Structure 1
Amino acid sequence: MFPTSSSDSVSGRADEVAAGLAEVRARIAAACAAAGRDPAEVTLVAVTKTFPASDVRLLAGLGVTDVAENRDQEAGPKVAQCAGLGLTWHFVGQLQTNKARSVVSYADVVHSVDRSRLVAALSSAAARSGRRPRCLVQVALDEDEARGGIRPADVLRLADEIAGAEGLDLGGVMAVAPLGSDPRAAFTALAEIAARVRRDHPAAGVISAGMSGDLAEAIACGATHVRVGTALLGGRRAIVR
């Protein structure tokens, strides 16, 4: 057997990414059809953590414009390598306040805002940089503090803080379904919380919910953004640039 050439490897990866994207888009379309929704209402956010910038470029070539990272030290260099592609960058991981300035320098949307100190840090960084990130309140739907999020009872207070903070826009809410439980119940609760936020802040219409394993349930409950990595790009791998 002849060794695989570099060009064959690149072509093979392009085929893998295209196939993964086609499958995910079909799943989104089917979920929207079942829920009586227009697929145009749902934004696919490609989670590219641990994957190389070359995969981001492949996705961009296939029409994916929303890309997410969850670690600042990985995201910054990758954003730089993908400059000029017209991408919207999302930060979806737990965020330390000392990373706020770095994240604001490239993130258009920050999904994981869950405390007042972080609002203040993001606001200060935004004011200095002249950028204006869209911020989502991360809602805790279980008791696992390691996963981040603010208690449902405190969501409206934090939403008000974001809306009033210099340099920030309140986009809506985000959550991760609890492990080992019915995601539909969790996403139904999130939709109710999102509706309460919109009563005070009508423009905050984003509901970021659903990943590779539960995107159909999230869409059924009104998700506007689904964050998909594994189903799109395969199992996590070390970055090779």
Structure 2
Amino acid sequence: MTDRAVAADSERRAELAGRLAQVRTRIAEACAAAGRDRGEVTMVAVTKTYPAGDVLALAGLGVTEMGENRDQEAAGKAAAVAAAGADVRWHFVGQLQRNKCRSVVGYADVVHSVDGVRLAEALARAAERRRERPLEVLVQVSIDGDPARGGAFASDGADDDRALPAVAARVAAAGSLRLAGLMAVAPLGWEPERAFERLAGIAARLRAEHPGATALSAGMSGDLEAAITYGATHVRIGSALLGMRPTLG
């Protein structure tokens, strides 16, 4: 590695360290304001579009939970990070297609985006080849019930494939999967507080049926405080940690 490359790596690591300190402070302050223990909230660093080198730098700074949303990028990156010897957990947080399930279960420890019964079935079949513990699954729920966007429907009258009770039950019944909880994104145009308050109610109803489904993945760089106020256990942080994303080709 040239001196210039070493300097660039050092500069990037310093940038990431500064951003990480700021995000950790925000999370700690949000937990304090909500009367919650800081240990209740896990930060997932969403590293999509960023190189394996950034993942390795974050791992060196103590970040162990990494998020990706495109299998074609994530699979190679996970392999490169593993080859470098870093011990991280991968969260698949993007829209998941049934034909990508076999690839995703090869590296992901947690999948945040199951929103249909057929998708749950495909993921369960793919995960049967895992020799270790079951794949953790969060059911993605639609807060506003818009069928044009991803997410299972919590409201009555939802179609069978995307009805939240049916999706959760299918995940819970699969021996190769473990129903961990819910994931959601605040809808465009909604105040985060309104969105996450509604999500908290949906999560409480799910836990009544599935007491072990305690994880709640909600909140990103711009709204993590509101999410923590309403019970988020995982916040998915991208731009606040890694900077503005490069354009994908």
- State the TM-score, normalizing by the size of structure 1: 0.94
Gaps of 5+ in 2: 156-162
Measure the CA separation in 1 of the matches of 2:140 and 2:179: 12
> Paired residue for 2:179?
170
The offset of 1:25, in angstroms, is 0.3
> Paired residue for 1:120?
121
Kindly provide the amino acid, as one letter, of the partner of residue 231 in structure 1: A
Measure the CA separation in 1 of the matches of 2:145 and 2:208: 26
Query: For 1:69-108, what aligned pairs fall within 5 Å after superposition?
Result: 69-83=68-82, 84-108=85-109
> Paired residue for 1:137?
139
Measure the CA separation in 1 of the matches of 2:227 and 2:149: 18
The offset of 1:86, in angstroms, is 1.8
Count of residue pairs brought into register by the alignment: 236
- Residue 18 of structure 2 is aligned to residue 19 of structure 1: yes
2:125 is paired with a residue of what secondary structure?
helix
Query: For 1:203-214, what aligned pairs fall within 5 Å after superposition?
Result: 203-214=212-223
> Paired residue for 1:157?
166
Measure the CA separation in 1 of the matches of 2:224 and 2:147: 23
Measure the CA separation in 2 of the matches of 1:211 and 1:73: 23
User: Is residue 30–residue 225 contact of structure 2 (8 Å, CA) maintained in 1?
Assistant: yes
User: Is residue 145–residue 154 contact of structure 2 (8 Å, CA) maintained in 1?
Assistant: no
Gaps of 5+ in 1: none
Summarize deviations over 1:31-90 as a string: whole Å, max 9, x none.
111101111100000000000000000110111110000000000010011113221110
The offset of 1:155, in angstroms, is 1.5
Measure the CA separation in 1 of the matches of 2:147 and 2:96: 13
> Paired residue for 1:225?
234
Query: For 1:44-83, what aligned pairs fall within 5 Å after superposition?
Result: 44-83=43-82
User: Is residue 130–residue 167 contact of structure 1 (8 Å, CA) maintained in 2?
Assistant: no
The answer to which of 123-132 and 201-210 deviates more is 123-132
Q: Give me the identity figure in percent.
A: 58
> Paired residue for 2:42?
43
> Paired residue for 2:160?
none
The offset of 1:145, in angstroms, is 4.1
Kindly provide the amino acid, as one letter, of the partner of residue 56 in structure 1: V
1:192 to 169, 183, 201: 201
Measure the CA separation in 1 of the matches of 2:179 and 2:120: 11
2:232 is paired with a residue of what secondary structure?
coil
Measure the CA separation in 2 of the matches of 1:116 and 1:236: 33
- Residue 9 of structure 2 is aligned to residue 10 of structure 1: yes
CA RMSD after TM alignment: 1.4
User: Is residue 51–residue 238 contact of structure 1 (8 Å, CA) maintained in 2?
Assistant: no
2:113 is paired with a residue of what secondary structure?
strand
